[in-house]
């Protein structure tokens, strides 16, 4: 039974913690692997792989502190829905998002893209009013007023062959990007999962 003022979190949601503000923000970028027909989204600086969240559409690699390290979108871009009016949030508070549950299935994702396929919006839940959190450069999480995950934006996607561009990007950043360890206020959010 919940205490006064305490909200019970349904067990069928993926729980996440948001820390904001953060002193330095990681960077990320989308690399569409032409040979594999899938999208890689590395986040730098990263950590050591510990676990994952996955579905037939995507895999999220996570470290032992619950931080997102890498996203792989398995659905080929020819199946992404083109939306000419697609625009990412204009403002997003820099934040550190931590997943609290590992090895769970992600809910079904709607994939929307810009005509040039340089942006991708992963839609978990439709909502008119969302709050935006910049998890890394070019990576934005959206939440609903009920504090559930509504979507993820990848705002810079480039074609990559044999992962050469991604390797060059990582090499350039590895030496001069400082690690992020911001700690401040915590906000708990969840991803709504469809009933079985």
Q: Which of 160, 121, 168 is nearest to 140 (CA)?
A: 121
Residue 140 lies in a domain: yes
Residue 4 lies in a domain: no
Residue 7 lies in a domain: no
Overall number of domains in the chain: 1
- Distance separating the N- and C-terminal Cα atoms of the chain: 25
Higher-pLDDT residue of 184, 191:
191
Q: What tens digit of pLDDT does each residue of 144-175 get?
A: 777 777 899 999 999 999 999 999 998 888 76
Residue 9 lies in a domain: no
> By the 8 A CB rule, do 151 and 123 touch?
yes
pTM: 0.82
Q: What tens digit of pLDDT does each residue of 11-22 get?
A: 445 677 788 888
Report the distance separating Cα 140 and Cα 133, nearest Å: 6
User: pLDDT class for 2, splitting at 50, 70, 90?
Assistant: very low
pLDDT, residue 166, reads 93
User: pLDDT class for 88, splitting at 50, 70, 90?
Assistant: very high
User: pLDDT class for 193, splitting at 50, 70, 90?
Assistant: low
Check whether 138 has a pLDDT greater than 80: yes
Residue 104 lies in a domain: yes
Residue 83 lies in a domain: yes
Residue 196 lies in a domain: no
- Best-predicted range by mean pLDDT (3-17, 70-84, 114-128): 70-84
pLDDT, residue 14, reads 64
Owning domain of residue 22? 15-191
pLDDT above 90 as % of the chain:
47
For range 131-154, the mean pLDDT:
88
Q: Distances from the Cα of 178 to the Cαs of 45, 163, 174, 182, in angstroms?
A: 7, 24, 9, 12
Residue 130 lies in a domain: yes
């Amino acid at each position: 039974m919940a205490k006064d003022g305490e909200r019970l979190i349904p067990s069928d949601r993926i729980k996440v913690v948001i820390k904001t503000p953060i002193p330095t923000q990681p960077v990320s970028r989308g690399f569409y692997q032409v040979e594999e027909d899938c999208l890689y989204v590395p986040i730098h600086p990263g950590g050591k792989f510990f676990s994952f969240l996955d579905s037939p559409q995507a895999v999220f690699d996570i470290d032992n502190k619950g931080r997102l390290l890498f996203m792989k979108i398995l659905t080929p871009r020819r199946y992404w829905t083109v939306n000419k009016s697609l625009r990412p949030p204009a403002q997003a508070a820099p934040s550190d998002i931590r997943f609290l549950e590992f090895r769970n299935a992600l809910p079904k994702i709607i994939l929307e893209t810009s005509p040039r396929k340089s942006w991708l919006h992963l839609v978990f839940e439709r909502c008119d009013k969302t709050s935006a959190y910049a998890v890394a450069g070019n990576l934005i999480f959206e939440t609903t007023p009920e504090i559930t995950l509504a979507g993820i934006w990848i705002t810079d996607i480039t074609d990559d062959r044999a992962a050469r561009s991604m390797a060059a990007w990582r090499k350039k950043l590895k030496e001069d990007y400082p690690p992020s360890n911001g700690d401040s206020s915590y906000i708990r959010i969840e991803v709504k999962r469809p009933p079985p």
